[in-house]
Amino acid sequence: MTTGDGIYYLAAARLGDLAERDVQNLKPVLEWTEGSRPFAIRDCFDQSLRMSRRLLLEDGGLLELISATGEALRQPATPQARFVAEFAEGPVKAALAGLSPLRALLPVAAGMARSGRLALIDDEGKTRARAELLELRPTDGNAVILVTPQGLRGYDRALHDLVAHVRDCGGTPLGAGNLYRMIDPANTGYVAKPRIEVGREETAFDAANDLIDGYLPVARANEQGIIADLDTEFLHDHRVALRKIRSVLSLFKGVYDLEQTAELKLRFSALMAPTGPLRDLDVYLLAQQGFCDLVPERMHAGLDRMFARLRDRRAAEHARLAAHLRSKGYQKEIKALTKLFAKRRKLLAGQNASRASFDLACELIWKRYRRIRRIAAGMTAETPDDEVHRLRIECKKLRYLMEFFGPVFPRRDLKDVLEPLKDLQDSLGLFNDYAVQQTKLQAFMDDLGDAPHKLDIAQSVGALIVVLHQKQLGEREKIVAAFARFNSDRMQRTIRRLFHEGKGS
């Protein structure tokens, strides 16, 4: 048997058409295997699998990863497993290694499945081509059939005719369409970083409105996932979206009326504030293994106790945030803000509102860039942490500006600038993480009071702080090197050409 020509899906309602008439003088014969079994289609919230043209299917006790070419990897399913790391070792798990380890594989659809086969038979009763059928009947949503044509060696023409027949009956290649949407027409997918078009001549006011209007739905799309505590990325994405909105408000100077800018900043800041404590705890808990790797094994018991306490705190914080997101106050506020940026009638223009996006972008980016060079120029091994912190914040703002206004600059040039900037930011981020972690761990210890095993915990955490301090010192040297790359002559020329000499295009 040779593998066929990809895998197709079609509405179960079209099943009758498949076996209705002869296909190039070959008789179609449809057969179903007795009995059915539960199935579930799984994917991350951002549909990484669908985007990479793959289908993860729990079929009875099997976990299958089907590619657009129809090839399937199989391994026994691990009941209750939600993250790739929790799956049993096997070819499917290995193939899923590229997925974010932080993303849960959530059920897209679940119900009952049955298997069948469609064969095209000649006048001798010989099968010339066939297709494996898998009917998926979800509890909620439309039933679909997956069709995997399988050619028999030496009968290429029959296979070709079978594929054409499947397509005639509405078969869509798995990689080309959206199976999820056929099952649930309301399945719209989720994009964490929406592409928001900004035109060169578009007014800065419109651009800012478009950006905020584009990121508000991202924040909202994550609410349910946070409340249900599906994975930590929901909260992360929610916060990133709100942070981007706040950046637009603070970085697009003079685009909105001064007073309204201040008011909006306060309102978005208030939306984000309750999410901080939970995110901090998530970051710690995700770092558990990393922390343990940093200290000797005899210290692990103390760290485990610390993490147990953090997990308790996280449960309490999660309950608090979930209640907040469900509250009438939050819902009313975020709806009001969504409406404000959708309708835009009540938004007041500032002195830069009518400037062309390109002009304003160049001015803001150039200013920010020069400030970064000033700070970085004086940086040595003795520079106080606060200065490094300031450099980190400035780089972050520069990055946001470049990304917001990205569409008005040549893509390739921008990529050349963004890459070394990202490297620099990574180093600055690590430096900052090490610093913040030390402070927070110290605070955690000071807070222990008369907790049981206090001594154990204090010893382990103390050891961890020492290691983190060493790592922080090491990272500072890397920052100097990363800045040198970002500040190369070539980069300076590119940035000047792009953002200062009005030759952005």
Partner 1 sequence: MQIIACYSNKGGVGKTATAVNLAYAFAASGRRTLLCDLDPQGASGFYFRVKPSKKLVDAQFFEDDERFAKAIRGSDYDNLDILPANMSFRDFDVFLSRMKNGQSRLKKALKAVKADYDVVVLDCPPNISMLSENVFQAADAVVVPVIPTTLSRRTFEQLLEFFQASGLPETRIHAFFSMVQNIKSLHGETIAEMTAAYPGRFTRATIPFASEVERMGLTRAPVLATAPASRAGRAYQALFDEIEERVKA
State which residue, 132 or 426, has the beta carbon closest to partner 1: 132
State which residue, 1 or 186, has the beta carbon closest to partner 1: 1
Give the distance, in angstroms, between the CA of residue 285 and the centroid of all CA atoms in the same chain.
Answer: 19
Q: How many helices (H) and strands (E) does the chain have?
A: 18, 11
SS3 readout for 252-314: CCCCECHHHHHHHHHHHHHHHHHHHHHHHHHHHHHCHHHHHHHCCHHHHHHHHHHHHHHHHHH
State which residue, 14 or 74, has the beta carbon closest to partner 1: 74
CA distance 164 to 185: 26
CB of residue 403 to partner 1, shortest distance in Å: 50
State which residue, 156 or 456, has the beta carbon closest to partner 1: 156
Q: 29 — phi, psi (to 5°)?
A: -125, 125
CB of residue 153 to partner 1, shortest distance in Å: 4
CB of residue 302 to partner 1, shortest distance in Å: 53
CB of residue 331 to partner 1, shortest distance in Å: 57
CB of residue 66 to partner 1, shortest distance in Å: 19
CA distance 362 to 88: 52
CA distance 320 to 309: 17
State which residue, 141 or 151, has the beta carbon closest to partner 1: 151
CB of residue 151 to partner 1, shortest distance in Å: 7
CA-based nearest residue to 271, from 332, 224, 313: 332
State which residue, 89 or 123, has the beta carbon closest to partner 1: 123
User: What Å distances lie between residue 17 and 118, 119, 148, CA to CA?
Assistant: 12, 14, 16
State which residue, 155 or 434, has the beta carbon closest to partner 1: 155
CB of residue 150 to partner 1, shortest distance in Å: 9
Element (H, E) at 62: strand 62-67
CB of residue 164 to partner 1, shortest distance in Å: 19
CB of residue 71 to partner 1, shortest distance in Å: 16
CB of residue 157 to partner 1, shortest distance in Å: 12
- Supply 410's token pair: 């040549």
Burial class of residue 487 (count of CB atoms within 10 Å of its CB; 0-12, 13-18, 19+):
middle
Binding site for partner 1 (CB under 8 A): 1-2, 122, 124-127, 151-155
Start-to-end CA distance of the chain, whole Å, equals 55
State which residue, 154 or 378, has the beta carbon closest to partner 1: 154
User: What Å distances lie between residue 33 and 21, 37, 132, 292, 371, CA to CA?
Assistant: 22, 11, 11, 51, 70
CA-based nearest residue to 58, from 37, 88, 84: 37
Residues 450, 455, 461, 465, Cα dihedral to 10°: 100
State which residue, 1 or 97, has the beta carbon closest to partner 1: 1
State which residue, 151 or 407, has the beta carbon closest to partner 1: 151
